Amino acid sequence: MDNTQQIKPIVLEKNISASNLLLLHALLTHSGLLILDCYQLIMLNTHYLVMTANKSLKRQAQRKHCKNWLK
């Protein structure tokens, strides 16, 4: 199995973990494999940032709800 076959399942996952993004970045940077164009890389990064922000906002809302409930 070559590196291209290893990367494609990672990119196709709906939820991309930080470790998968780091692996993808390392493979693209150090092996010279460019299976994604600039637009795809930007969209992948944007999707990851939105997922991270959503998780953070949900945690904040849960904390606020718990504090209000305890009052």
- CA separation, residue 11 to residues 36, 40, 48, 66, 67 (Å): 9, 10, 11, 36, 39
Confidence label for 28 from pLDDT (cuts 50, 70 and 90): low
Read off the tokens for 3. 């590196």
Tokens representing 11 are 């990119």
Number of independent structural domains in the chain: 1
Q: Which residue has the higher pLDDT, 32 or 44?
A: 44
Q: Give the domain extent around 52.
A: 3-70
Question: What pLDDT was estimated at residue 59?
Answer: 77
Residue 32, pLDDT score: 52
**What average pLDDT does the chain have?**
64
Q: Is the pTM of this model over 0.75?
A: no
